[in-house]
Chains A and B, each alone.
Chain A
């Protein structure tokens, strides 16, 4: 029972940052923009969140700083790709290279300095019972991630603004010709994606390892990008995908605990498993007939009004 509980808690922790980052990227891609800089924005959010947590000890302020830093980073991408029509693939890569360097520089004087982990969101009395703990014992970002799945689904499918965003992603010329600002909508989407990636990054020092380490997001931003494809650009499938990956990422723990055949697998294979699983998942999704038809039609293409 204790082991099961521990597993659930670990999986939830590992899944949350990927889910938050992927939700942001989903909105960005729905507007027709492919931002491959998620990993870089996450690292910038992680160092911003860490520094604020280190100096203030206020995790909510740390999450907000992560969001602000991620948004600022996303504006570099937005300016280059939206205002200057630069190649989105190359600019996203540049953002990731920049974020890696920037976070390493900003964090160079903070190595081996611990911060306090974020405390549970709800009063401890509610989470006293084991079942209560599994449901109510987590810190704020876990509930935020779940709420955002619903919010984003509602926004995209039930609101006028969401309809406009999808129109811009599906047919930018038509959206432009009926008077919507394609570039404006895309800027907002890119900034939202940056804020979400920043929050996701800040979750690493606040929820997982309470210190700063260079490249501490370890490719999770790229997994988030892959998950959006896996989820066919649908928020609820993203939820399922992120938790599937949380399970894969923490599998080593229970394989070791359970003993038997699984415990002889070298730890390096376990560490490589999330990346290999990403490839497997992409292959599986490509076998589905409707795989590519769900992609926003304008994804990755720069918008240049024809008139």
Chain B
């Protein structure tokens, strides 16, 4: 009898949790998140009824990759194991964090840890280690949510996804009537550092300038994104990151010329005939030190476009919530827009199976071509299988 008295509230809690989870999956009834798949749109958040929620995601790969007829990699990888926490501190204050373990623990980083103080739906103050709103993908890059094993090249190679920076700023949402809305985020952040040059052996690599945890030059950068969405599943966003990346002042003395990095990104999402189409295009302008011009690029650009078509819902009878999805993605990154070569192009086709919305098995075939600075081509192919799940 005592056991039963204890079990009833527990069952009630479980039922409530499941109901909340079911509601979260029903997009017609759940409140629409600020960013779909963003920091406060994780499945674990709906599971716990207490003040603090803990969850995460894991991602494991099997990879077989070849280049110019030779096997480059054939092996297994625990790519990521991430832990999330989120706490509703009060009606107006919440805090979230993400701790990331990459490559089997070789790299451990605090990817996100920020405090939100909500003043009004149109104005929230956010401070901490932020996910920079530079393109939509950086804000929503969890592996269980993405449809392909590897992230878009433009995101990883040109924008440095996952790009998180210490910073402070504001975000908000403005309703424009009906389902139409405008969202914005604007932060002052530490910005990139000169690792994008000094740690880069193959010419300018913006991604190597991230992780500027202790601001190298005491000169904040600005990053912001504005997105217009007429309804769920349709959005156009514009974002930019601008700031000095080098140490040009030390103890009040000018020690170098100020050199800026400016990145612009346009992202879009739409649904056409049951196919979800997502893409981003990015362009970076880098002030390169005069002694490195001609080898280190001052202009880079890239894009990705992917299309995904779900099918076969409940084909697996034992998994009524399961479905398949077939998709394709095009990646292009031009590491030096002033010469014909130094370009990566890649096409990925994939077939996914989701036993539930939060778990995905991905099978991808990748075919790509890179060119060196002489424009000599090298061909790559890969067969990638991965499993990713929220927990």
Q: Do A and B form a real pair?
A: no
A residues whose Cβ falls under 8 Å from a Cβ of B: none
B residues whose Cβ falls under 8 Å from a Cβ of A: none
